[in-house]
Amino acid sequence: METRSALDKPDPRIEGLLARVREDICGELLAINDYSLHAREADLLGMDKVALVLRQILCGEKEHLAHHIKLLLENDPEQADILAKVLGAAI
């Protein structure tokens, strides 16, 4: 039976995929900032329907972010431990 220890070399394919998930997290954060700014611009122009749609999209991006963070934490135990230490029972 095959077992893994902390001294095993990580699988580079899995490490690569986790790196891309972290990049995806960056993309979701950028999207959240962008849609937030765009919704405020629409507010300033009195374009209420546009602002509403942009805020709906913004909520979707926040959900995407949560899913990506969940994926990362399920597959990066070190990151999961650090997040648990920092956040404690905050979540």
Q: Tell me if 64 contacts Fe ion by CB under 5 A.
A: yes
Between residue 9 and residue 28, which ones bind Fe ion under the rule CB under 5 A?
Answer: 28
Q: Is 54 or 61 the residue whose CB approaches Fe ion more closely?
A: 61
Query: What are the structure tokens assigned to 17, written together?
Result: 């995929």
Q: Measuring CA to CA, how many Å separate 33 from each of 8, 42, 57, 86?
A: 39, 14, 12, 24
Is 25 in contact with 2 (CB distance < 8 Å)?
no
Q: Tell me if 61 contacts Fe ion by CB under 5 A.
A: yes
Q: Tell me if 35 contacts Fe ion by CB under 5 A.
A: no
Q: Tell me if 32 contacts Fe ion by CB under 5 A.
A: no
Enumerate binding residues for Fe ion (CB under 5 A). Answer: 28, 61, 64
